[in-house]
Every structure is written in C-alpha cells, then in structure tokens.
Amino acid sequence: MAPVKKGIIERLNSGEVVIGDGGFVFALEKRGYVKAGPWTPEATVTHPEAVRQLHREFLRSGSNVMQTFTFYASDDKLENRGQNLRITGAQINEAACDLAREVASEGDAMVAGGVCQTPSYLSCKSETDVKAIFKKQLDVFMKKNVDFLIAEYFEHVEEAVWAVEVLKTSGKPVAASMCIGPEGDMHGVSPGDCAVRLVKAGAQIVGVNCHFDPMTCVKAVKMMKEGVEKARLKAHYMVQPLAYHTPDCNCQGFIDLPEFPFALEPRILTRWDMHEYARESYKAGIRFIGGCCGFEPYHIRAIAEELAPERGIVAPASEKHGMWGAGLEMHTKPWVRARARRDYWENIAPASGRPKCPSMSTPEGWGVTKGHADLLQHKEATSSQEMKHVLEMQKKSKSST
C-alpha cells in the first residue's frame, strides 16, 4: 500500500513549505483551451488531456498542491452573459477533481477543491442564494473526497466569509485567499480586518492571490498576519500572486490596467524574480507559496529551487535546469558560458525591447464594484446598448485621467 500522505495542516504545523501550482486560467487561454472573457473551466470536460498535462508540469516543477480547475465553475457564471456551454457545473467540477486526483497520486501532492467569487454576489443576490452556489460545488468536492478546500479570488470579504462558512461545514481544512492588495477589499476593509473575519469564520489558512505582483501580495499578507496576531488569533498564511509586475495598479489590481488581458507579456516576472519572491515570502512567515495568473511551471520550479534547502528536496524538473544557469557552461558561445553564475542573473536588469513604450500605465479606475448598476449580471448576451454604455464610460474615464 502507498504511504498515507500528510495533510495540509499537518504539513504547515510542522513548518513544512507547501508549494502551490500556477495560473491555469491564463495558461490554458494561451494554449487555446479557455476563452478570455468568461474565463470558465469547461476544458476539464472538453479537453481533459490539456488540463492533465498542465497539472503534471506543475507537479514535476515542485507543486505539492493540485488545485482543481474549478475557477468560475459555478452555474451562475457558466450561464452568464450569453454563454451556453451545455455542460453543467457538476460535470466540470467532477471532471476537475478526477484530473487533479489522478496527477496528485503520481507524486507527493494534495488535492484542493476551490470556489471563487460569483456573479450572484455582484448582482446583490441574498446570502442564502450565494451560499447555495458554494454548497453545490462543495457537494462535488465531498463526493470526490478532496484533501482540503480553498475559497480564493474574492474582492469582498463579506462574500469570502460566506464561502468559508459553507466550506467549513465539510469538516475539511479550509484556506481563504482574497484578491486584494495593501489597500484592502473593494469596500475598504483592511487586509488585517479581512484576515480576522476569515479566521473567525473558520479559515485555518488565510492570504492573498491574483490581482497584484508578488511583492505587493507579500506586503498584504504581512498586514493580514499583523491583524490576526493583534486579535490574538492563530492561522497559517498563503500567497499566490500574479506573475506580472504591477507597481502602477490601484485598489482593483491588474484588471484596471489597459493591457489586461491581452498585452501583459512585457510585465512577466523572470525566474530570477521568483527566487526573490520565494525568499521574501519565507522570511515573512508564509509557508504556502504558489502562483496565480501568468505563472507557468518554470516559475514554480524557481520557487522550489530557491526553497530547496528548507524543503530538503529538489523538483524533478530541475534535472533539466542547472541552478542559477549552470547549464550554460555547456553552451557553444563563450560569452553565454560566462553567464553561468548566480551574481549575473541576480543583478540582471532585463530590457523590454520596446523603445516607444512607457515603463508604467495609467489604470482606468472606474470605481465600479458590488452594488453598482453596471455590475448587475444576467444570462442574456451583452446587448449593443450595454456595449455603447461601457464605451462611453471608458471614454469618460480616460478623459478624467
């Protein structure tokens, strides 16, 4: 019989570093399996081989967590704004669990079932209605016996708390991760207060994912940690940021950048940036360290390599990657061989190769969030009148900035 794997809380209690995976939504959109806009994960049913392969690449790169590809897999999102997939949320969630479990069994990885924010909450549906959506996904996760649960990508702590309260009924460990920066949630609740509310709701792991770059997210998690400790509560901490530099972002994060989502590539962090991110996260007391949108397997490998001394293991993918560029010693060109050293890559200042482009952008900053008429969602396709309205809003926003 295979040895019983340690659970997430057992690992974190012992001080072990747990490495998450990367951004399935963006990675699979680039590969042609996810549509930008709805960002829904029907690929678990229509193209399971693509999802399985990405799981395997993250596992090989050092991930301990195979997170089910269930981002935006709630029925209200699958039916939003004219989308007609003819595939149910239950089908997508079940397939995602099976794929994650299959790959997790190939290594020392756990399966995490994930839920995220809903169109119903943005449309001001009741707590009962929103919780019912989370419960439908939880029912599948319980049927498939995932190892733990993650409530992630929440802009509003109120909805995140509702998600945690539902997930906590499972008896399984619960992590809660908000897509916020140091300014707090979209209604101005500070990171520290968000964390306290999530811990009191039953989350054993709290943190931040998406919307901001690694160092901004680490700063926000530090604020969460301070809030939890000030309240004399206990929790473990997680961080799964973007793989994009976002020094110019406002409270809403990268979705306010004019480059979102199709022109973000110049902002991608290098593998060497990821070494710094991993080290700063560890120094901050964060032990669940992963990635979100923009993260590819080589980014996760860099985290695993930076923290290999603490973890005591090296990821299989490092067989094809000499530490700090050591493999370049085998290069045919002598000037490239000269780059096979740590101090070269630690001090590199990468150029963008775009002489006519600015180093930073001006976020659009519409200031629209839950409770605003423009965020009311519906099953019908976006109408021409609605498009005319948003284009007028865009013009007004640009003129004001």
Annotated binding site for Zn(2+): 210, 292-293
Tokens 């079932």: give the residue. Answer: 113
**CA-CA-CA-CA torsion sign (178, 224, 188, 364):** negative
**Alpha helices, DSSP H, located in 290-341:** 297-306, 308-311, 334-337
Q: How far is CA 85 from CA 71, 187, 266, 385, in A?
A: 16, 33, 33, 24
SS3 assignment, position 113: strand
Instruction: Give the pair of three-digit tokens for residue 36.
Output: 């930008």
Residue 206 pairs in a beta bridge with 176, 237
DSSP structural state of residue 332: S
d(CA 34, CA 39) in angstroms, rounded, equals: 6
**H or E element, residue 18:** strand 18-19
Give the residue ranges of the annotated binding site. Answer: 210, 292-293
HEC profile for 339-390? CCCHHHHHCCCCCCCCCCCCCCCCCCCCCCCCCCHHHCCCCCCCCHHHHHHH
Q: Which candidate, 259, 315, 252, places its Cα nearest to that of 56?
A: 315
